[in-house]
Amino acid sequence: MSSHLGERSAAPASSTPPAAPSPDDAPPPSTTDATTAAVVDPEHDRGRLGVVFGASVTVCALFVGWAVLFTDNLNKVTNESLGWLTSSFGWAYLVITLGILVFLVFLAFSPYGEIRLGKDTDRPEFSTLSWFAMILSAVMGIGLVSYGVAEPISHFGTPPHGLAESGTPEAAVRAMQYSYFDWGLHAWAIFAVFGLAIAYSTHRKGRPVLVSQLFRPLLGDRVNGPIGKTIDVLAVFATLFGTTTSLGLGALQVNNGAASLFGMPVDNLSQVLIIAVVTAIFTMSAVTGVSKGIKYLSQGSAGLAIALFVFMLVVGPTVFIANLYIESVGTWSTDFFRMSLQGTAFGGLEWMQWWTYFMLAWWVSWGAFVGVFLARISKGRTIRGFIMGVLVVPSVVFFTWFTVFGGTAIHVDLFQGGTIGEQTATDINSAFFATLDYFPLSTVTSAVAIILVVMFFVSGADANTYVLAMMTSGGSLNPRRWILVMWGVLTGVTAVVLMLAGGLNALQNTVIVTSAPFLVIIAGLAVSFWRELVLDRRVAQAEADERDRALLAALRAESRP
C-alpha cells in the first residue's frame, strides 16, 4: 500500500503531479465559507506543538517500549484483545463499511451529487485521466505484490467458509470472489468517505486539514477541546500502525525476493536491515522535499507495474484468465450482500481474523491518510464524480490485477502440477516470486517486482511521514524538519519492534486492535458530513429564497406609477 500527495503549484489539466508530499505540496485551504472562516481561523494553531503532538508521541513511544521490554506480554495482550474484539464486535467492521458504501451510492445519485468540492465556480485541476492515474499509482501499491497472488492461492487451497472443496474449479472462483471483496468497493468506500469529508471541509469550508475538524457540524467548537484532540490522536495512532503494517509487509516481500535472487537469508536480521535502509531513505526524502524525485519514482512504479502486468497477461494462460475473470465477477456480484454481512455465528473466526477483519481494519487505519491525498487532488470535482471515480475505477483495476496474477498461480497448481499453494502455505510472502519462477525471464521479473516494492515502499512511507507530522502540527502544511525526522524514525522503529515481536502475525493483530476506535470515528464522520450537507443546502435554499423575495420586491417597486 502506498500513497502520495501532489505539488503546491498548479499544473496543466493533462499533467501528472508529483506523488509525495513535501512542505511545499498542498495549497492552503480556500476560505469559501465566510461563516466558517470567522469561526475557524485558517492559520489557527498551525505549526504549534500542543496536546495532540505530546499525546501522540508519548503513546507511540510507550508502545515501542512495551514491545521491546515486555514482548511476550504485548503478544498476549494483543492476542487476547484481538479474540475479544473480533468475536464481540467483528460484525461492526462489516456493518459500518457496508453502511458507508450504501451512503456513498445514495449520495452520488442524489441532488447532493452536484455539489462541488470547492467553490461553485471551481473546476478540476487535473484531467480525469490524470486523476485516475494518480489514484491508481498512489494507494495500496505494496498490497499488489504482497497479496496479488498470496490471497487467491490461499483461498484456493482453503476455500472461504467451506464454500468449495480445496483445489477444485469451484474453489478457484471462490478464491477470486473473496479477493475482490477484500480489495474492492468496501476498501474504497472507506477512503472515499474520508476524502469527501476532508475535501469538503478544506476546499469548501476553509478549515484546517485535521480529522477533528470534520466533526464541527456535530460538535461545534468542542472540536478544539479535549474531544477533538482525542479524535486527532486516534487518527495519528491508526495511521502510524497502518503504515508500519505496510512497511513490515514490504520488508517481507523484499526479503523473499532477494532470497530467490541472491540467496539472502529470510530472517529477522535481514528484515530489520531492509526496514532501516528504507526508513533512512524515506525520512530524508520527506525532510528535503525532493518532490521531483518522488514524482519520477511514482511514475516509474506505475510504469513497472503496467509492464509486469502486460508480461504476465501475455505469457500466462490468457484465455483461462479471461474466463475466470468473467465467472468470478458474476459470483462476486451475485453474493455481494451475503459476503458483506457474513459473520462468525457458526464459526470461521480465525479465518476472518486473518483475512476479512484484517483487511477492513487495514483500510480503516489508512482512511485519514488516503483521505488527505484524495482531497488534495480532487478540488473542483463534483461529489458524484468523486464517488463514482474513487469507487468504480480502482476496484476494476484491482480485480483485474488479482485475476491475472492470482488466476495464473491457480492455473499452474490446478493444471500444471505446480506447488505455489504449498510454498505460500509455508511462507505467504513467497507467493508472488514463486509464481514468477514458472515463467520465462523469472530472474528479470523478480528483480522488477523487488524494485517495484521498494519504490512503493519509499514513496508511501515518505507521504505518511508528512501526514503524521502535519496532523501533529495543528494541520500545518509546513511541518518542521525535526518533526518529520522524528515521525520517520518512530515509524521505522515501530515496524521493527513489531516484526521482532511476531512478524506478520503481530502486524495483523496490532492493526486490527488499534484501528477499532477509529472505526467508530469513521461512522461518526459519515453522520457529521451528511448533517453538514443538509444544513448547507438549507442555508443555500434560504439565501436563494431571500434573493427571490428581494428581486420580487424590487420589481414591484419599479412597476408602481
CATH of residue 125's domain is 1.20.1740.10
Tell me, yes or no, whether 528 lies in a domain.
Answer: yes
How many Cβ atoms from other residues are within 10 Å of residue 355's Cβ? 22
Residue 10 falls inside a structural domain: no
Q: Whole-angstrom Cα distance, residue 46 to residue 25?
A: 16
Is 25 part of any domain?
no
Calculate the alpha carbon distances from 260 to 155, 434, 437, 452 in Å: 24, 9, 9, 16
CB atoms under 10 Å from CB of 310, counted, come to 11
CA atoms within 13 A on the CB side of 1: 24
Provide, rounded to the nearest whole percent, the portion of the chain with pLDDT above 70: 88
DSSP state of 107: H
Residue 116 lies in a domain: yes
- Return the higher-pLDDT residue of 531 and 239: 531
Does residue 6 lie within any of the structural domains? no
Q: Which residues sit opposite 293 in a β-bridge?
A: none
Burial zone of 517 (CB within 10 Å; 0-12 exposed, 13-18 middle, 19+ buried): middle
Phi-psi region of 418 (alpha: psi -120 to 50; beta: other; left: phi over 0): beta
pLDDT tens by residue, 443-462:
999 999 998 888 887 777 77
Q: Is there a domain that residue 543 lies in?
A: yes
Q: Write the CA distances from 77 to 59, 201, 306, 355, integer angstroms.
A: 16, 38, 42, 20
Domain count, the chain: 1
Expressed as residue numbers, the domain containing 306 is 34-559
Indicate whether 18 belongs to any domain.
no
pLDDT tens per residue across span 341-353: 998 888 889 999 9
Tell me what the pLDDT averaged over the chain comes to.
84
What are the two backbone dihedrals, phi and then psi, of residue 430, each rounded to the nearest 5 degrees? -95, -5
Q: Is the pLDDT of residue 315 over 80?
A: yes
Q: Per-residue pLDDT for 4 more than 70?
A: no
**Cβ neighbours around 109 below 10 Å, total:** 12
Burial class (CB in 10 A: 0-12, 13-18, 19+), 560: exposed
Residues 213-236 have a mean pLDDT of 92
- Res 168 pLDDT > 50: yes
Torsion of CA 249, 250, 256, 258, to 10 degrees: -170
Contact 234, 354 (CB under 8 A): no
Give pLDDT tens digits for 395-447.
999 999 999 999 999 999 999 999 999 999 998 889 999 999 999 999 999 99
Quick one: cell of 476? 500545518
Whether pLDDT at 110 is above 90: yes
d(CA 51, CA 56): 8
Q: At what angle do helices 169-183 and 356-377 cross, to 10 degrees?
A: 40
| Interaxial angle between packed helices 442-471 and 268-288, expressed in degrees from 0 to 180 and rounded to the nearest 10 | 60
**In the numeric block, which cell numbers belong to residue 65?**
517500549
Is the separation of the CB atoms in 294 and 20 below 8 Å? Answer: yes
Residue 547: the pLDDT is: 86
> Quick check: 271 and 499 in contact, CB under 8 A?
yes
**pLDDT higher than 50, residue 378:** yes
- pLDDT tens digits, one per residue of 123-150: 998 888 878 877 776 566 678 888 999 9
Examine residue 16 and state whether it is found in any structural domain, yes or no.
no
**Is the per-residue pLDDT at 16 higher than 50?**
no
Asked whether residue 292 carries a pLDDT value surpassing 70, the answer given is: no
